[in-house]
Amino acid sequence: MRIGSVLLSLLLVAGCGQASPAALQAGSSPSHEPLRARRDMSKETAGKETIRRQIPRRFEAAVVGGRLTAAQHGWPGPRLPIAPPPRQIDCTRHKCVALTFDDGPGDDTGKLLDMLAAHHARATFFMLGQMINDETRDFVRRMVSEGHEVGNHSWDHPALAGLSSEAVKRQLERTQEVVQQVTGVRMIVMRPPYGSTNQQVEAATREEGLAQIMWAVDTLDWRDRNSAIVAKRCAEAKPGDVVLMHDIHPTTVDAVPHLLDELDRRGFTYVTVSELFGSLTPGKQYFNR
C-alpha cells in the first residue's frame, strides 16, 4: 500500500510540472492555446488585422470601408478615388463649354480620358449603370480622380417617359447605387435617354436629387460615324452651351483631339455641367447657360 501511495504521489507531481516539449508542440497545454490561435490565424483575418492597424484615427469612414473592400477583393490601393478640390470658375466672364459623353463607360473611354487630360479639359459623363463592371470600373474611378463629373443616364437606356413611376425610380436608383459603390460619389445630375422626360420623370428626379441636363448642341455622332463631321459640329458651340456626344463610338473619341484644338483656338474653358450652371435644382431641365 505504501509503495502504491508513493507512486501515485510521484505521478501527481509530474502532472503539475512543466509540460514536455512534445506536449507543447502538440498544443496540449491550455495555457499556450491563445498564443497558438494567434499564430494559426488565417491569411484573410491577418490581412484584415493589418489593414485595421494601418488606418489613421481621423480617416473618413467611406475611405476606410473602401480600403477594406479593396483588400477583400484583391484590388490594389484605396477603392474610392479622391476628387481634386472644386474649381471657382466664373462662366459669366469666361467662355465656358460643357462637353458631355453618354452611354459609357466603353472600350475607348480610357483613351478619351487621356485626350482630355492632355488638354486640361474636364467633362461630364452620363453613364449607364449596366455598363459599369469589372472591366470599366477603373475608368469611372479615374473620371472622379481627374475632376470630371459623373451623371446618371439610367440603368439600361429606356425612354423614361414611357415607364411607370416605380420603373423610372428603379432605373435611377440602381445606377445611383452602383456609381456610389465604385466611387463614393452621390450623383446630382442626370440625362434622360433620348431626352425622353415628362412630369413623372421630373418628379422622380426631384425625389432622387437629380437635375435633368439636356443639351444645346447635338453632334449626332450616333448617326454620323465620321470624326470630321463630329468635330465640326462640336466646334460650332457657343459660350454656355452643353454639347452632346457618346464615348462608346470610336469615331467620336477620334474626333476629340480635333475639336479640342479648335475650341482651344477660340479660347474656350472646359467645365463640368455643375460648374457651368452653378446651383442646380433637382428635377429642373437645363439646356445651356
Compute, in degrees rounded to 10, the torsion defined by CA atoms 236, 238, 240, 243: -10
Question: Rounded to an integer, what distance in angstroms lies between the CA atom of residue 54 and that of residue 169?
Answer: 40
Residue carrying the nine cell digits 440603368: 155
Look at residue 149 and give its three-state secondary structure: strand
> φ, ψ for residue 100 (rounded to 5)?
-130, 145
Set of cell numbers at residue 19: 509540460
Which residues are known to be catalytic? Answer: 102, 246
Question: Rounded to an integer, what distance in angstroms lies between the CA atom of residue 168 and that of residue 166?
Answer: 5
Look at residue 98 and give its three-state secondary structure: strand
Question: Rounded to an integer, what distance in angstroms lies between the CA atom of residue 238 and that of residue 242?
Answer: 9
